Amino acid sequence: MIDFAFGYVTVSSSRVLHFAALAIATMIALIAPASAHSIEEVDQDLRDKEKYFQAVDRDAPGFSLLDAEGRAVSLSDLRGKVVVLNFVYTNCPDVCPLHAERIAEIQKMVNQTPMKEMVEFVTITTDPKRDNGPVLGDYGEAHGLDPANWVFLTSAPDRPEDATRKIAEAYGLKFTEGEDGMQMHGIVTHVIDQDGRLRARFHGLEFESVNLVVFINALTNRTQKPHPHPQPGFWDKLKGSLPW
């Protein structure tokens, strides 16, 4: 398996994301579980259609960190939910805010459907020295993240300064600190299933948001098995409804 990260890119316009959110939320909310694609079908579709998608199937590296209120949160606490995980640091001047806002848009799409109760969004800072509780809380509010199913995590003060960067590295993502406190890094959104297995990486910011949401939806319906489609399937209807 090759771990890789694409270069920095710009996020799609807010209008396109808004229309996409409405389309995906409406269709996923109305479609019956029996007609949902299986994870195997969606995995193959994304391999063919989404160049920023990387399929993975291995145990996700564990972590035990603190939220903005100082409460302990570990990956094992989130068993039973699909976890969407990303790494940023709040002092980042460019791509981290874009990544946070992209996650917020995806969260809005998910939260307009019954998946809201089945999915947890997790952001881990790679600069725990600066990113304490109040900073974490302010960052989420500033970038439109919903605390109902999103948490921003940092390490305890007595942990090594690079503790969370080592967690990122365990996920295949390198954050290299420079002399000015800035960090060189790629952009990856990780998806972990209900059993704590890392199932996908979406690289950069140019992937279609709907593709990530459809992958999440397939995980929430992963007991479904592939089935024939005598008429146009869910994927085709969904893609055809989008404004691009």
pLDDT per position as a tens digit, 25-45: 545 544 434 345 678 889 898
pLDDT at 14 over 50: no
Q: Residue 9: what pLDDT?
A: 39
CA nearest to 84, candidates 139, 12, 151, 165: 151
- Domain range enclosing 114: 14-241
* CATH number of the structural domain spanning residue 61: 3.40.30.10
Give the span between the Cα atoms of 226 and 230, in whole angstroms: 13
Decide: 242 and 49 in contact? Cβ < 8 Å: no
Give the span between the Cα atoms of 125 and 67, in whole angstroms: 11
Phi, psi of 201, deg, nearest 5? -125, 135
> If DSSP codes are grouped into helix, strand and coil, which group holds residue 121?
strand
- State which of 10-24, 175-189, 199-213 shows the largest mean pLDDT: 199-213
Residue 3 lies in a domain: no
Percent of the chain with pLDDT over 70: 76
Give the span between the Cα atoms of 194 and 69, in whole angstroms: 25
More reliable by pLDDT, 114 or 178: 114
DSSP percent split of the chain into helix, strand, coil, nearest 5: 40, 20, 40
Number of H helices, E strands in the chain: 7, 10
Q: Residue 8: what pLDDT?
A: 38
Residue 205 lies in a domain: yes
Residue 123 lies in a domain: yes
Per-residue pLDDT, averaged over 79-92, amounts to: 97
Instruction: Specify the DSSP element, H or E, that contains 14.
Output: helix 14-30
Residue 192 lies in a domain: yes
Give the span between the Cα atoms of 229 and 80, in whole angstroms: 30
pTM of the model: 0.79
Residue 72 lies in a domain: yes
Residue 137 lies in a domain: yes
How many domains, in total, are found in the chain?
1
Give the span between the Cα atoms of 51 and 207, in whole angstroms: 8
pLDDT at 78 over 90: yes
Give the span between the Cα atoms of 244 and 239, in whole angstroms: 9
pLDDT at 16 over 70: no
Rg (CA), the chain: 18
Let me know how long the chain is. 244
pLDDT at 2 over 80: no
Residue 206 lies in a domain: yes
pLDDT-based confidence at 180, cuts 50/70/90? confident
Q: Looking at 69-165, which runs of residues are DSSP E strands?
A: 72-74, 82-88, 119-125, 150-153
Decide: 118 and 75 in contact? Cβ < 8 Å: no
Residue 181 lies in a domain: yes
> If DSSP codes are grouped into helix, strand and coil, which group holds residue 64?
strand
Q: Residue 67: what pLDDT?
A: 96
* Six-digit token string for 227: 């089935």
CA nearest to 222, candidates 200, 244, 238, 207: 200
Per-residue pLDDT, averaged over 130-146, amounts to: 93
Percent of the chain with pLDDT over 90: 68
Residue whose token pair is 């996409």: 20
